[in-house]
Amino acid sequence: MGDAEMNEQEMPLRYGFNPHQKPARIFSRKGALPFKVLNGAPGYINMLDALNSWQLVRELKQALDLPAAASFKHVSPAGAAVGIPLTEALRKAYFVDDMEESPLMAAYARARGADRVSSYGDFAALSDTIDVPTAKLITREVSDGMIAPKYESKALDILLAKKGGKYLVIEIDPAYEPPETETREVFGVNFEQKRNNAVAAPDLLKNVVTVKKDFPAAAVRDLIVATAAIKYTQSNTIGFAVDGQAIGIGAGQQSRIHCTRLAADKADRWFLRQHPVVLGMKWRQGVVRAERNNAIDLYLQERLNRFEKQNLEVALEEVPPQLTYEEKREWLAGLKGVSLSSDGMIPFRDTIDRAHESGVSYVVQPGGSIRDDDVIKACDDYGMVMAFSGVRLFHH
C-alpha cells in the first residue's frame, strides 16, 4: 500500500482517551476516511464526538428537512435542535440578542442553549454549510471543535482564527454511508453487530396506546428531535424536547427514573433561565458568558452556601432575591406541550408522574414492560398522548 493511499485511510490522533494512551490513530479498513481535517489536531474523544454528532444532525435534517445542530460532550449530546427562529426571551437567555440570526445559527444557539453549563467546551455538529452568522456564534463560545459538510469561505476564515488558530475544524462527506456491519474491540475481544439504522421518523408514532390519539405537527417534530438525541446518547436515556429543540437529556443512568429526574430538572432550569428575574440580571464589567452561565445555575439552586453567595456577588452588580419554591412552580406552570422520548421501555408510572410536573404532554417509548397498563393509565390520567414505537435505542 502506497503512502498516499495510507494517508487517505489512516490518521494519527494526539492520544487516546487520556494523554498517556499513545500512540493512537483512526483508520478505515476499506476505502478512504470520509472526512478531512481542515484545521487543528484531533484526539480520540474528539473523533468519537464528531462521528456520533454528525449522525445525529444528519438524521434530523433527513427527517425534518430543517437545519440541525448538536452540542456534544463526552460522546453524548448536551443539546440538539433544528433551525426554528428564536424568541426574544431565548435570544437573551442564550446571549445572542446582539447577533445576526440565520436558520443554522438558530439551530446551534438552541442546541447550545439546552444546557449551557454542560455545553462548555463542546464539540459542535451542523447539518448544513456553515454560514457567517453560525461561524460567529461558534467562535465566541468555548468549544473544542466542529464538524459540518461544507464551509463558506468567509465563515471558515472566522473559524480558523479561533483558539489562536488551533480550533479543530472537520469537513465530512455528506454522501458517505457506513457499512451495514460495525465492529469494535474491548479487552482484546472483537464485537460485531448490524449498525443501528432505525431512524427517528414519524413512523415510530403510529401505535398510539392512550385514550387521546392525536399528535400535533409540532409534537411530531419535537418527538423526532428527542428521539434522535437519545439514539446517540449513552444509555439509559430520557429526552425532553419542545419548540424544535432538546431542553433536557438525562443520560447514562442505571435507573430510568433517575434519567427522568435528571432530564426534567434540566428542562425546568432551561425554562427558569427565561424568567424575567434571570433575564434582567445586571452583570459586572468583564463577566464572560461562561461565568454568567455558572452564576445563573447557582442562582437557581434551592440553597446557597456562603462561597456560592460570594461567587454570585462577584458576578452580579446586585444579586436579586432567590426565587421561592412557589414562584418557581408558578413560572414552570407555563412550560407546556413538552415531548418525551425514552430509549428503553418505561417500567413504572413514576417516569410519567415526574414528566407531568415538567409540562410533558406527548410520549414515545418502545413499550413491552409488564406494567405497560400502569404507564398507559398514568398518561390517560394526565391527558397525555403516548405511542409505543416497538424500537429500543440503547447506545453504548
Catalytic residues: 73-74, 236, 396
Instruction: Please name every residue paired with 219 in a beta bridge, in sequence order, or none if there are none.
Output: none
Distance CA 233, CA 238 (A): 9
Does residue 341 contact residue 238 with C-beta atoms inside 8 Å? yes
Measure Cα distances from 53 to 79, 103, 209, 381 in Å. 10, 19, 32, 37
Handedness of CA 109, 111, 116, 120 (dihedral sign): negative
Distance CA 38, CA 40 (A): 7
Query: Rounded to 5 degrees, what angle do the CA atoms 88, 66, 118 make?
Result: 60
- Residue 81, amino acid: A
**Count of other CB atoms within 10 angstroms of residue 51:** 19
Pick left, alpha or beta for residue 368 (phi over 0 → left; psi -120 to 50 → alpha; otherwise beta). Answer: left
Does residue 362 contact residue 223 with C-beta atoms inside 8 Å? yes
Does residue 79 contact residue 110 with C-beta atoms inside 8 Å? yes
Q: Give the chain's radius of gyration (CA, Å).
A: 21
Instruction: Please name every residue paired with 159 in a beta bridge, in sequence order, or none if there are none.
Output: none
Distance CA 155, CA 209 (A): 47
